[in-house]
Amino acid sequence: MDWNKINTILITAFIILNIFLFVSSYNDIFSDEYNVTADKAFTEDVKNILKEKNIAVNCELPEETYMLHVLDTEYEIINIDKVLLSRFLGSGPEPAEDVTLYQNENGEILEITDGKKLHYTLREKISGKLSTEDTITKDINKFIESKRIDASGYSEDYRNISDDGALVVYTKKYNNFSIDNSYMYFYFDKEGIYKLEMQNIISVKESAEKVRTFSAAEALPSLLSHNDVENKEIIGIEMTYYSVEDENWKFISGISSYPVWKVIFSDGTQKHLSVINIYETYKID
């Protein structure tokens, strides 16, 4: 009996079997019928990976994936003139060249940064528990009207209530998706609104480019690349549009906005899981 020949045949058969099993598994996972969101083992693996940084997932993971247009967005460039100053600070302050921060006699402060971001502070935050949450929406509507803010296209995105205040975020919507760079942040203390931060997109158009997104479960492991998410609790995940605001943001008046997964934490912070090269992109003729 030729043992060398038999050994060669067995080794060859073993290699062929492993190749067959690998190809079969590969075809199952990457076939059109495979749905990673229905793979409970995969979802549990993702949750276990996040536990390495003490990140708890306390919400349902959306099962949807999307094929969405990239948006071309144009931002409102804020002109600091007498009209703007009077809306927020009254009749006192006068506009001056190259000045971006103004204050009235009541201590209210208006500052414009990057040419697009408006920061309005009525007073320092007053410590203490909110007297009621029932009037928050009414207070916001009254504030918007008094400051003559154009809130068309905006709606509440989320609110975070803490022991000594609240943050309520309004964002502009496009086809029921939030465009997170177009926002109004209303900060509440026990006396009401004490600060506003806002940035406004004035034009939204669909580009010819479309992207197919990962599922939420596939995107979540990228949280491990962030150093400021340890010991946090995820309470929401939703599809949104977002543009990365880098060091060149002050020079930008228009930019592409991409569909990304937004992760919301119980402390009110959030992360946008946006890595452009992980998406399949398509050009529409």
Going from N- to C-terminal start, the domains of the chain cover 1-32, 35-72+205-283, 76-202
Same fold for the domain at 35-72+205-283 and the one at 76-202? no
Nearest residue to 58 (alpha-carbon basis) of 234, 190, 267, 260? 234
The confidence score (pLDDT) of residue 108 equals 97
The predicted structure's pLDDT at residue 154: 97
Contact 174, 27 (CB under 8 A): no
* Answer CATH for 76-202 from 3.40.50.620, 3.30.565.10, 3.30.310.160, 3.40.50.970: 3.30.310.160
pTM: 0.80
Contact assessment for residue 241 and residue 257, using Cβ atoms and an 8 Å cutoff: yes
Fold of 35-72+205-283: Lipocalin (2.40.128)
Q: What is the mean pLDDT of each run of 10 residues along the chain (285 residues)?
A: 51 43 45 57 87 90 90 97 96 92 96 97 93 88 97 94 92 96 96 97 94 88 89 94 93 94 92 60 43
Query: How high is the pLDDT of residue 21?
Result: 42
pLDDT tens digits, one per residue of 87-118: 999 988 999 999 999 999 999 999 999 999 99
Question: From CA 200, how far away is CA 161, in angstroms rounded?
Answer: 24
pLDDT of amino acid 64: 87
Residues 6+ away with beta carbon under 8 Å from 210: 67, 68, 69, 70, 281, 282, 284
Q: Three-state DSSP class for 15?
A: helix
pLDDT at 36: 58
Give burial (CB, 10 Å; 0-12/13-18/19+) of 261: buried
